[in-house]
């Protein structure tokens, strides 16, 4: 089902490249904020951003939302947004950078392997590697999540995962390759056009009941057309995303809804998605 939304300016832009992380400066009444660097066994380094409920009674539901591109996600959070979900714990999975995005790292971590030789250089941008999503999801599940949840004052009962653009594609890749590790999935403007619609092809090869039970909220804008050579070219909501929504909705055990932001370009859907995502994860 499509949930209507207020129009979003098509001219809306992402903030500057540097992450200001203003939410860490003034304190938040509902959540205790912290961050820490994690060195994984294979040498990759990540930065965890945590927002832990202060009120233990409010946190009784024991829900947590994992947010990919954690630097950018926490840069966009506000005390007002967190006040809407006083019992929800948030964990940003970010990078050791002062920037909102580590573009090389996310290109590697959030793109699915194309073949057994991946990761390997991106043909479009050889300075970047692609195809490391399965390795990243393995790190997320086996190393990053346990370390994050060790910081929480409760045993987690419901896990959700959010991501935008390439990270939104990685959210779906996580569902397809490691079902059952999350209960709820929030892909926002997922880059399903990537590598000639590779993820749509992968979905078609998955048995109808193989994904188990999951709740999914997909969000996208209706003005995400790009002019870059490697980007999508269409008018209106991304057809590949609408096709994925249709397919997933036909699977047993999958409950899927979607929200289209009127007038929103690709950049604008990240901040626009935060309130619905937090409420979806906290419900």
- Residues catalogued as catalytic: 165, 224, 266
**CA 216/CA 219 separation, integer angstroms:** 10
**CA 46/CA 97 separation, integer angstroms:** 9
Distances (CA, A) of 169 to 190, 203, 258: 5, 12, 15
Strands 88-94 and 120-121: unpaired
Dump the DSSP string for 22-64.
THHHH--SSEEEEEEEEE-TTS-EEEEEEEEES-TTGGGG-EE
Residue 152 DSSP SS3: coil
**CA 154/CA 255 separation, integer angstroms:** 27
CB 66 within 8 A of CB 159: yes
CA 210 to chain CA centroid, Å, is: 22
Distances (CA, A) of 95 to 39, 44, 100, 150: 11, 10, 9, 19
CB 126 within 8 A of CB 32: no
């Amino acid at each position: 089902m499509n949930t209507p939304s207020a129009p979003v300016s098509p001219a809306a832009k992402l903030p500057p490249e540097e992450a200001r992380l203003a939410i860490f400066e003034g304190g938040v009444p509902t959540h205790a904020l912290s961050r820490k660097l994690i060195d994984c066994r294979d040498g990759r380094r990540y930065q965890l951003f945590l927002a832990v409920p202060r009120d233990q009674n409010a946190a009784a539901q024991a829900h947590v939302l994992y947010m990919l591109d954690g630097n950018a996600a926490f840069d966009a959070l506000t005390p007002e947004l967190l006040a809407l979900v006083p019992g929800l714990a948030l964990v940003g999975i970010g990078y050791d950078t002062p920037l909102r995005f580590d573009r090389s790292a996310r290109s590697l971590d959030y793109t699915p392997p194309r073949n057994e030789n991946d990761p390997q250089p991106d043909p479009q941008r050889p300075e970047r590697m692609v195809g490391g999503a399965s390795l990243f999801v393995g790190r997320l599940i086996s190393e990053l999540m346990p370390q994050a949840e060790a910081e929480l004052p409760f045993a987690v009962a419901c896990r959700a995962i959010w991501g935008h653009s390439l990270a939104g594609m990685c959210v779906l890749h996580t569902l397809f390759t490691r079902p059952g590790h999350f209960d709820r999935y929030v892909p926002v403007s997922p880059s399903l056009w990537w590598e000639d619609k590779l993820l749509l092809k992968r979905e078609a090869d998955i048995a109808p009941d193989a994904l188990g039970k999951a709740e999914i909220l997909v969000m996208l804008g209706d003005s995400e057309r790009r002019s870059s050579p490697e980007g999508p070219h269409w008018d209106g909501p991304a057809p590949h995303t609408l096709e994925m929504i249709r397919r997933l909705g036909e699977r047993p055990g999958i409950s899927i809804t979607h929200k289209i932001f009127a007038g929103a370009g690709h950049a604008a859907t990240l901040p626009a998605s935060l309130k619905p995502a937090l409420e979806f994860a906290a419900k």
